Amino acid sequence: MAPFRLSSSSINSNNPHLSKFNFPSTAAITSDSGFRTNWTTTRLLLFRTTSVPSSTRRKLWISNVAKDQQKELKDPVNGGVVDDSDSFLPDSASIAASIKYHSEFTPSFSPEGFGLSKAYYATAESVRDMLIINWNATYEYYERMNVKQAYYLSMEFLQGRALLNAIGNLELSGNYGDALRVLGFNLEEVARQESDAALGNGGLGRLASCFLDSLATLNYPAWGYGLRYKYGLFKQLITKNGQEEVAENWLEMGNPWEIARNDISYPVKFYGEVISGADGSKQWVGGENITAVAYDVPIPGYKTKTTINLRLWSTKVAPEEFDLSSFNVGNHADAYAAIKKAEKICYVLYPGDDSLEGKTLRLKQQYTLCSASLQDIVARFERRSGEALDWESFPEKVAVQMNDTHPTLCIPELIRILMDVKALTWKEAWDITSRTVAYTNHTVLPEALEKWGFPLMQELLPRHVQIIEMIDEELIHSIVAKYGTKDHELLQQKLKEMRVLENFELPDSVMELLVNSAESAVAVDAIEEAEILDEESLPSKEEEEAEILDEESLPGKEEEESEDKSIAKKIDVSFKVDPKQPKMIRMANLSVVGGYSVNGVAEIHSEIVRTEVFSDFYELWPEKFQNKTNGVTPRRWIRFCNPDLSKIITKWTGTEHWVTDTEKLAILRKFADNEDLQSMWKEAKRINKLKVVSFLKEKTGYLVSPDAMFDVQVKRIHEYKRQLLNILGIVYRYKQMKEMTLEEREAKFVPRVCIFGGKAFATYVQAKRIVKFIADVGATVNNDPDIGDLLKVVFVPDYNVSVAEVLIPGSDLSQHISTAGMEASGTSNMKFAMNGCVLIGTLDGANVEIREEVGEDNFFLFGARAHEIANLRKERAQGKFVPDPRFEEVKAFVRSGVFGSNNYEELIGSLEGNEGYGRADYFLVGKDFPSYIECQDRVDEAYRDQKRWTKMSILNTAGSYKFSSDRTIHEYAKDIWKISPLLIS
């Protein structure tokens, strides 16, 4: 095929920089063979380059996808290689043409002007064009090969900005930079126009996004499923009143990365009733009906054609639900009530659940995710199976991973679909489901191990309650089979801890089993008692004859019935429920019972899961339990966000393969003392710190010195994460400074910029008090002329992925100081270590493994250990805790009013007393305070020796190799999902 030539005709632009680049007019693309094509008829362009040496300038090819894409995709699906790996990579000229095309013909903006926002959307749409080609090829290949596929269900996907990540994975960063320069723009400025996708909040969602990146990069057949939140969690503002929340506006200008699949939608039902058929079948009828519509987001792998899918669900109702007659008579609210009721399901991530309405909305969200996703998965299985449909093979083709307990309703929902829609028996449906679904536990906090009130669940999802009752009954029989019925006390304890249904009567089948067992035990006892009677006590012949009387003349039958009732009553009393306590459904227990695999996310966390949280289940099913230590994608979290350090790593490891094979980072260890490497390393860190300085000035107004140590704690605001311990340590430091002369404080303290970031949940009052306190301390310290640059405290508003991508590369010290045993894993600790940041922390979550890998001398450890926590709390309750004088000193200093007129009594008071809700220092801030501030002194000492500190930094990066999400995904694929890579040729 002869290459097309761009004609001399061009589209004029309001941007003066475009005058040096000619673009094709509407019908100005002509081939050497004379074929003319209309630019506007080709919505999606495939840009190809000839396979030539890299030193030779590539020629521009433009082919019509309507014809050529079919030929390009047909052979890869059959395993053939059509073209080399460069075949889909355009040069900068063709990229510029594509961007210009989208600026003119993709109607996101009006034709007037060509500013940064328009440049971003046009650039994103040009990238999406290329992603779609690989995306469609991947989809079709999976359909035809019909291999086992993993489906990852999560309430959160914290994606971050997509543009730089996508062009980086496509190896087009340089070409896009060149193209945008020709068009008069800077790539980084264009990329900053993108809003972070408001689909998540914390580590749970960021982990899910890292997993999708690794799944695509490693060519595993997998999809993600989530919800398309219109307003996210919230956008955080920091004002004089502390944290304030406003709605996210990330979808205000549209989302160029998503494609609405209006042809893919599924019905989702709430309320109604269950009707039993004559044949025993069940039909869920009536109630409230909505529709879940699919929006697809392509997830490209790094240096691979594999592009997997994140399918997000949005909710609506059918047009006929709009009450036109009510609207026309002025009852507008009534007219669109059903529409608003459906739409609000996907308005906000984690709506407040203090009210019944809030709880109902959250449960609706969770069920929508599960129902729509499972219906889609089942439909895909049926389509792939064709005439060879065999439900028994469903677990051999499908693995469903539940990211925490939010998607637990997958279990009863899959059973419902199989039984009520596909007409399978209970036994078949239960067997298939329990071989399909797996569960990742992310927390040991009791409040996060979800429970739902039985009345709400019964009203909202009546069919699922029936199925959950059947699952609970199945579980009880398993427990009875394991432990028997003789020891009622043991059985009571096991049922109390393990049942899915909390505070429920025993099912009739179990009561019957226990009664029969008790009767058998009584009969055995009677036989044994009779057997040991002395022969002399046996009746005489005359007595035996007297006993052979008519059965009706004896009271034996009535006595037996009375005895049966007595036994049943005794058992009923033994297993009696507490009428004062609510009936609840325990979702974590349901996840363990219905799943074939249960995994924690760090070694210490998985051990706690086995020995404490689910110890009874582990005793019953030890084979279900695994550990899968979390990881983060090295592409986003070092390669793309820290290009200066990445170049140094490539130079000193001698390869770029560390980006996909992080074990090569360990090569850095042997150069940790090399002066040349240290010099380059320090320079890269300074460049990143200067970016942080500029960012903080822009976002907060505070100007900080890049020569200070950047000390960072960024994560969700929660008492167990102990931002309060950090800020109290800063207050103590500030108090000491104020009591010294200038010379004394400069001699004792290393200059620090203490940076906080993270959101407090809108209804979490204590967490919001902590945010307010941090902001107030910053306002005082930062404006104290005596202190100057020796100490700054900055709270960065609206912490998200894009903020992290700036802060993490520029950090010197990072704080991961949760109460030991309460953090499941953490992933920000991995990101900081990967970027050469030294950590201070407790032996909690993945800190334990990070410390092992980077070396004990390169991690600042303090605080109580996980196995000590229970006794420390017990001692506190007994009044045995004696606070350190320095802790009492800092509390008094806060109460003195030095940080403003705000009353911090509720905040500081939570650290006092021995018992009571919200008091008694449950998270052991006071206990760990002396250890913490002494550890901070060691940090200052180490930072003064920059050669030592730089070596520690290098060894943290070198030791972070284990914490790649690639390693984690390989383990999931091998040990849990049983899937294999499927390479798109």
Sequential DSSP letters for 129-160: HHHHHHHHHHHHHHHHH---EEEEE-S-----
DSSP 920-940: TTTT-HHHHHHHHHHHHHHHH
Q: Report which of 149, 151, 377 is spatially closest to residue 980, judged by C-alpha positions.
A: 149
DSSP 849-915: HHHHHH-GGGEEE-S--GGGHHHHHHHHHTT-----HHHHHHHHHHHTTTT-S---HHHHHTT-SSS
The pLDDT value given to residue 256: 96
Put residue 758 in one of left, alpha, beta given phi > 0 → left and psi -120 to 50 → alpha: left
Q: Report which of 245, 187, 169, 248 is spatially closest to residue 633, judged by C-alpha positions.
A: 169
Residue 792's contacts (CB-CB under 8 Å, 6 or more residues apart) are 702, 704, 708, 752, 753, 754, 778, 781, 782
Exposure b/e, 419-444, CB count within 10 A at least 16 = b? bbebebeeebbbbbbbbbbbbbbbbb
Quote the DSSP letter at residue 506: P
Residue with tokens 């989530």: 226
pLDDT digits (tens, 9 = 90+) for 147-182: 999 999 999 999 999 999 999 999 999 999 999 999
And the tokens for 361?
């909305």
- Please tell me which residue in 364, 442, 636, 951 is annotated as part of the active site: 442
Instruction: Give the CA distances from residue 404 to residues 153, 598, 939, in Å, rounded to whole numbers and listed in that order.
Output: 9, 10, 36
The pLDDT value given to residue 532: 53
pLDDT digits (tens, 9 = 90+) for 417-431: 999 999 999 999 999
Residue 98 above 70 pLDDT? yes
Estimate to the nearest angstrom the gap between the alpha carbon of 409 and the chain centroid.
17
Question: Would you call 738 a catalytic residue per the annotation?
Answer: no
Residue 575's contacts (CB-CB under 8 Å, 6 or more residues apart) are 492, 495, 505, 506, 514
Instruction: Give the CA distances from residue 835 to residues 88, 476, 685, 953, 955, in Å, rounded to whole numbers and listed in that order.
Output: 32, 50, 9, 8, 10
Tell me the one-letter amino acid at 67: K
Residue 50 above 50 pLDDT? no
Distance CA 105, CA 257 (A): 17
> Mind listing the domains of the chain with CATH numbers?
90-145+162-194 (no CATH), 661-963 (3.40.50.2000)
The pLDDT value given to residue 550: 52
Tell me what the pLDDT averaged over the chain comes to. 88
Question: End-to-end alpha-carbon separation of the chain, Å?
Answer: 22
Residue 86 above 70 pLDDT? no
The pLDDT value given to residue 563: 59
Distance CA 241, CA 983 (A): 54
Residue 562 pLDDT level (bands cut at 50, 70, 90)? low
Tell me the one-letter amino acid at 281: S
Residue 542 above 70 pLDDT? no
Instruction: Give the CA distances from residue 801 to residues 4, 205, 244, 919, 961, in Å, rounded to whole numbers and listed in that order.
Output: 41, 11, 20, 33, 21
Residue 106 pLDDT level (bands cut at 50, 70, 90)? confident
Distance CA 28, CA 37 (A): 8
Mean pLDDT of 391-406: 98
Question: Would you call 716 a catalytic residue per the annotation?
Answer: yes
Distance CA 901, CA 403 (A): 44
Question: Would you call 488 a catalytic residue per the annotation?
Answer: no
Distance CA 430, CA 436 (A): 10
Tell me the one-letter amino acid at 132: I
The pLDDT value given to residue 73: 36
- Please tell me which residue in 463, 745, 831, 962 is annotated as part of the active site: 831
DSSP 432-455: HHTTTEEEE-----GGGS-EEEHH
The pLDDT value given to residue 924: 97
pLDDT digits (tens, 9 = 90+) for 108-118: 788 888 999 99
Task: Output 884-889 pairs: Cβ under 8 A, ≥24 positions apart.
Answer: 884/926, 884/929, 884/930, 886/732, 886/929, 886/930, 886/933, 887/728, 887/926, 887/929, 887/930, 889/732, 889/735
Question: Would you call 433 a catalytic residue per the annotation?
Answer: no
Q: Are 909 and 922 in contact (CB under 8 A)?
A: no
The helices-and-strands tally (H runs, E runs) of the chain is 38, 27
And the tokens for 901?
């007129």
- Please tell me which residue in 408, 827, 957, 968 is annotated as part of the active site: 827
Residue with tokens 């695509």: 216
Residues facing 226 on adjacent strands:
312
- Please tell me which residue in 128, 716, 851, 891 is annotated as part of the active site: 716
Q: Are 39 and 45 in contact (CB under 8 A)?
A: no
Angle at which helices 675-700 and 643-653 pack, to 10 degrees? 170
And the tokens for 270?
């709430």
Residue 105 above 70 pLDDT? yes
Q: Are 388 and 567 in contact (CB under 8 A)?
A: no
Pairing of strands 61-64, 45-48: antiparallel
Residue 572 pLDDT level (bands cut at 50, 70, 90)? low
Quote the DSSP letter at residue 538: S
The pLDDT value given to residue 51: 37
DSSP 720-764: GGTHHHHHHHHHHHHHHHHTS-HHHHHHH---EEEEEE----TT-
Q: How many CB atoms lie within 10 A of CB 944?
A: 11
pLDDT digits (tens, 9 = 90+) for 510-522: 888 887 776 665 5
Residue with tokens 């002007």: 113
DSSP 635-652: IIIIIIT-HHHHHHHHHH
Q: How many CB atoms lie within 10 A of CB 50?
A: 13
Q: Report which of 440, 351, 406, 443 is spatially closest to residue 720, judged by C-alpha positions.
A: 443
Residue 770 pLDDT level (bands cut at 50, 70, 90)? very high
Distance CA 87, CA 984 (A): 14
Distance CA 291, CA 315 (A): 6
- Three-state DSSP state, 545: helix
Q: Of residues 148 and 7, which shows the higher confidence score?
A: 148
Residues facing 22 on adjacent strands:
none
- Please tell me which residue in 228, 464, 639, 715 is annotated as part of the active site: 715
Question: Would you call 880 a catalytic residue per the annotation?
Answer: no
- Please tell me which residue in 721, 745, 772, 891 is annotated as part of the active site: 721
The pLDDT value given to residue 89: 77
Residues facing 451 on adjacent strands:
586
Q: Are 268 and 829 in contact (CB under 8 A)?
A: no
Mean pLDDT of 746-759: 97
Q: What is the total residue count of the chain?
A: 985
pLDDT digits (tens, 9 = 90+) for 174-193: 999 999 999 999 999 999 99
pLDDT digits (tens, 9 = 90+) for 430-452: 999 999 999 999 998 877 789 99
Question: Would you call 831 a catalytic residue per the annotation?
Answer: yes
Q: Are 158 and 200 in contact (CB under 8 A)?
A: yes
Distance CA 705, CA 39 (A): 53
Return the H-helix or E-strand segment holding 5. strand 4-6
Residue 683 above 70 pLDDT? yes
The pLDDT value given to residue 517: 75
Residue 37 above 80 pLDDT? no
